[in-house]
Structure 1
């Protein structure tokens, strides 16, 4: 079960990474705001893929892994991106919130280390959602 949960978490992070890449391609002016969040999402995918046991291991993925994630993301079809920046940010925030909620629920069914990693990544996703929308209220 935990191997499947880890694989799903990695796949979900890669999907979110594709969403970030699509928004960055459609709205390059958002790059400064989105790059740090995208880097964390890439690190989360690497942590799930490599079986990292600690959330602190997610802070700096190897350059090779990041390049691999970028290549994987660009090989898949790009998600649709709203034409205006505010809507694009709102869509990313919604994706982050949804995935954070999904991970918070999933952590109840996995063993300790993976549960801790899912909890840390879910918390990061909730933080990302806030950062993506904080100027919009």
Structure 2
């Protein structure tokens, strides 16, 4: 005897299709063919600085995920895949992953460009309620996706495509973080 189909239709995209979209966006990462070799003073080019900033931003975001997971171990299963995506984004922008999966973000990208005051969230900055901690992550993902989308016209094609893909993955993360909130 088969069970009747659920009368409830899902509202919005399914989790599987969002994750497949994010995975597909990761496949859009191409080879770097930039001819922007830097400024005449020997410093990093605007493209290199934008790439380093994007790597740092992803590392900071991964640090936020790590802090929330440490403060709320019950969310670990839900958040680890998203954190791994964010670490892959940092790597796509040129960061080198730390050897331990639970280690703090690497400093390689920070050394690649000028410091711009990017904030970090200390573990004590994680809200006590799980729902508020998820909202913190969703807000960080939303803000970063918006910032990345805002610079698309200022960077060359390959980096713009990568930023757009990662921004789309960030938007999917926002959905997954807020799914079930009503």
* Equivalent position of 2:170 in the other structure: 125
Which structure: greater helix fraction?
1
Residue of structure 2 aligned with 1:111, choices 139, 142, 156: 156
Task: Report how far residue 73 of structure 1 moved.
Answer: 2.8
Larger Rg, first or second structure (1 or 2)? 2
The farther-off stretch of 71-80 and 86-95 is 71-80
Q: What pairs up with 1:33-112 in 2 under 5 angstroms?
A: 33-49=78-94, 65-67=97-99, 70-73=102-105, 78-79=122-123, 80-112=125-157
* Contact 2:59–2:105 (Cα < 8 Å) also in 1: yes
SS at match of 2:122: coil
Structure 1: runs of 5 or more not aligned: 51-63
* Equivalent position of 2:69 in the other structure: 24
Structure 2: runs of 5 or more not aligned: 1-45, 108-119
Distance 1:69 1:48, change over 3 A: farther
Report Cα offsets for 1:75-112 as digits up to 9, x if no partner.
Answer: 98735100000000001000000000000011110001
Backbone CA RMSD of aligned residues: 2.2
- What number of residue pairs does the alignment pair up? 124
Residues in 2 aligned to 1:115 and 1:41: alpha-carbon distance in whole angstroms: 17
Residues in 1 aligned to 2:79 and 2:104: alpha-carbon distance in whole angstroms: 19
TM-score of the pair, normalised by structure 2: 0.63
Residues in 2 aligned to 1:26 and 1:89: alpha-carbon distance in whole angstroms: 12
Runs of 4+ residues deviating >3 angstroms: 68-72, 74-77
Residue of structure 2 aligned with 1:4, choices 34, 42, 49: 49
Distance 1:126 1:103, change over 3 A: same
* Contact 1:18–1:74 (Cα < 8 Å) also in 2: no
